Amino acid sequence: MDKKTVLITGGAGFIGSHLCDRFVAEGFKVLCMDNLITGSMDNIKHLMNDNNFRFIEHNVSKFIDLGEDVHFVMHFASPASPDDYLKFPIPTLKVGSLGTHNVLGLAKEKKARFMLASTSEVYGDPLVHPQPESYWGHVNPVGVRGCYDEAKRFSEAITMAYHRMHKVDTRIVRIFNTYGPRMRMHDGRVVPNFIYQALNNKPLTVYGKGRQTRSFCYVSDLVEGIFRLLFAKTNDPVNLGNPNEFTIMQLAKLLIKQTGTKSKIVYKPLPQDDPRQRQPDILLAKKLLKWKPLIELEEGLNTTIGYFRDLGGK
């Protein structure tokens, strides 16, 4: 039997590269597409000599022409950290709109199953806690984060439109805060920020009073959930994340302890539209996918700290 082919856009990124690993290991032929605006060849260099892996440097916001069969299209291309989408607001909007349109068109042409990587950011600064898939969100469309939030909300809308109008078999995963090896040290998200600061004995930067909450899912748990969702029978959005909620202050103190750093904590004003609470309701994932995260925060942070130490912590 011929191998099934999966196209992973954003495949040289943090989550995308881990998905490439998983699908190669599962016996798929993997086409990894990335324009490297935030992705890195270092994340996939170990796959470059594998006959079941091929890298295609391309911006998915431009027309995609693939002359081969594709059975699954997974759209994970997008800047994903606040630093990145504040630096690249227009490319972020383009990859969520034009890019999603292009990959949906490809899935339609190839009669492939399609998966959209959406985000907990579609819930904005939520008024409902924890956030179930049925919650419509509380988003500022003209705020500085709107370029990412609204790009993902639009991408969900066009995905469902292609499902309803063109019968494309679609999946939508709403990804909550995820961390682990292959995050970029300076990507602006809280876990790599704190680890970099701790390893270099710099002050840990906490915004506001550190009372805002996040829920941190280790990347291997997320990849398992994504893999199961691709083969589940649903077209509706599904939350994937770790429901164990921590304040930013708790995270800072835990990382100081785990790294043994001499760093102190400094406080800065809260960024505009920074969500006060973020916690996934994963009852649907538990029921539908028989999935729940297994890696506790301390274990996942130890592995991630080790990864950054191996990079020199710079």
- Among residues 177, 161, 313, 296, the alpha carbon closest in space to that of 239 is found at 177
Q: Would you place residue 65 in the very low, low, confident or very high pLDDT band (cuts 50, 70, 90)?
A: very high
- Positions of CATH 3.40.50.720 in the chain: 5-179+219-243+283-289
269-283 tens-digit pLDDT: 877 666 777 889 999
Q: What is the pLDDT of residues 84-103, one digit of tens each?
A: 999 999 999 999 999 999 99
The stretch 99-121 carries a mean pLDDT of: 97
Which residues carry out catalysis? Answer: 148
Both tokens of residue 288? 């539908």
Say yes or no: domain 190-213+245-277+296-310 is CATH 3.90.1150.10: no
Residue 129 CB partners (closer than 8 Å, separation 6+): 277, 279
The band of 234, judged by pLDDT with boundaries at 50, 70 and 90, is: very high
Which helix (H) or strand (E) segment is 117 a member of?
Answer: strand 113-119
* 42 within 8 A of 12, measured Cβ to Cβ: no
Give the H/E segment covering residue 83. helix 82-87
pLDDT for position 271:
72
Longest dimension (CA), the chain: 58
- Neighbour-count burial for 66-91, b at 16+ CB within 10 Å, e otherwise: beeebbbbbbbbbbbbbebbbebbeb
Label residue 21 by pLDDT band (50, 70, 90): very high
Residues carrying CATH 3.90.25.10, the chain: 190-213+245-277+296-310
Number of other CB atoms surrounding residue 235 within 10 Å: 15
Q: Which residues contact 242 (CB under 8 A, 6 or more apart)?
A: 176, 215, 216, 217, 218, 221, 280, 293, 297
The pLDDT of residue 313 is 62
Residue 40 and residue 34: Cα distance in Å, rounded? 9
The pTM assigned to this predicted structure is: 0.95
d(CA 26, CA 102): 27
Q: Which amino acid is at 302?
A: N
Q: Do residues 30 and 24 lie in contact, with contact meaning Cβ atoms separated by under 8 Å?
A: yes
**CA-CA distance, 133 to 149, in Å (whole number)?**
15
Burial class (CB in 10 A: 0-12, 13-18, 19+), 49: exposed
CA distance 153 to 138: 12
Residue 1 has pLDDT above 60, yes or no: no
CATH match for 5-179+219-243+283-289 among 3.40.30.10, 3.20.20.70, 3.40.50.720, 3.40.50.1580: 3.40.50.720
What residues contact 32, with CB distance under 8 A and at least 6 apart?
A: 8, 11, 12, 16, 17, 20, 44, 47, 53, 54, 55, 56
Using an 8 Å Cβ cutoff, are 241 and 120 in contact? Answer: yes
Predicted confidence at residue 6, as pLDDT, reads 98
User: How does pLDDT run across 157-214, given as a tens digit for each residue?
Assistant: 999 999 999 999 999 999 999 999 999 988 888 899 999 999 999 999 998 888 888 8
